[in-house]
Amino acid sequence: MQVDARGLTFEVRVDGPEDGDPVLLLHGFPQHSGEWDVVTPALHAAGLRTYALDQRGYSPGARPVAVEAYRIPELVADAAAVLDALGVTRAHVAGHDWGSIVAWGLAAAHPDRVRTLTAVSVPHPAAMGHALATDPKQKVKSAYITLFRKPGTAEKVLLAWHGATLRRLLRGVGDAEAVARYAEPMREPGALTAALNWYRAMTGADMKAVAPVAVPTTFVWSDKDVAIGRTAARACAAHVTGDYRFVVLPGVSHWIADEAPGPLAEAILARCRGTEET
């Protein structure tokens, strides 16, 4: 379905029992809401209703040109406004990769809107900042961001040879068909630039502005993640003041929703069920 919010039109995949508790699902780069497709059946079977959002830059009707339009406060405001448009007062929230950063920001800025948080792959922004400042290995893992922040250059590298580099980036999601599912939309005019603008708009000030989170939180991390190391993952706990669980998926890559949908669904459900009494 399409949802109008903040003068933009967002695509939202809605499924599950109509009377089920709502779950807002936020995807990462360079994917889209479809990354949750193999996770949601277990959530629906448990009685939850899911709203998987194609976020700013990924929804064709929500693709502003200006880089500053993709700052974290704008992305968080989108999530809150979409919940408003859907008539959802309070939701369980799960986010992967950049969607995790948006989820952290939403839980920090609008705790009244977030019943529980399940952050996947990317820890609290302050934990990432700590790792980048103290762990040389994390600096190496995050070096790709320098390329992504270069307008024109990043697009040229990722889209050369019919998107060969972009496809290699996505290898962990599955077979060639699974890779194409995410890579092909990024080849549409303006799509990759909009997605990369999330990196280009990112500032240290915006990352530091994300406060500690008080809502019940689970952080799911995989030990074969090429982008997020153990230092950042372990530092996450210090930035959650509410109930906190750290779930490690051994042998799984960065693409958790695609590679380990069962364990991820279990982690989300365990978090949701842990607060049923609230």
Q: Which token pair is 168?
A: 């290699």
Strand ranges (E), 33-85: 48-53
CA angle 18, 35, 100 (to 5 degrees): 90
**Residues making up the chain, counted from first to last:** 278
59 within 8 A of 127, measured Cβ to Cβ: no
Sequence-ordered list of residues with C-beta below 8 angstroms from that of 157, at least 6 positions apart, any chain: 147, 165
Residues 51-70: tens digit of each pLDDT: 999 999 999 999 999 999 99
Active-site residue (options: 199, 206, 225, 239): 199
Residue 277: the pLDDT is 37
Residues 102-124: tens digit of each pLDDT: 999 999 999 999 999 999 999 99
Residue 275: the pLDDT is 56
| Amino acid letter, residue 132 | L
Task: Say whether 96 is catalytic.
Answer: no
Strands 21-26 and 8-15: unpaired
Residue 278: the pLDDT is 34
| Amino acid letter, residue 235 | A
Does position 125 have pLDDT exceeding 50, yes or no? yes
Task: Say whether 92 is catalytic.
Answer: no
Residue 222: the pLDDT is 98
What residues form DSSP beta bridges with 118? Answer: 94, 218
Active-site residue (options: 21, 54, 78, 97): 97
Task: Say whether 97 is catalytic.
Answer: yes
267 within 8 A of 118, measured Cβ to Cβ: yes
Is the peptide bond preceding residue 185 cis, with omega within 30 degrees of 0? no
57 within 8 A of 70, measured Cβ to Cβ: yes
Every domain of the chain and the residues it spans: 2-273
Does position 13 have pLDDT exceeding 90, yes or no? yes
Determine the 3-state secondary structure of 66 from DSSP.
Answer: coil
What residues form DSSP beta bridges with 262? Answer: none
Active-site residue (options: 92, 130, 239, 254): 254
Does position 274 have pLDDT exceeding 90, yes or no? no
Fold for 2-273, please state it: Rossmann fold (3.40.50)
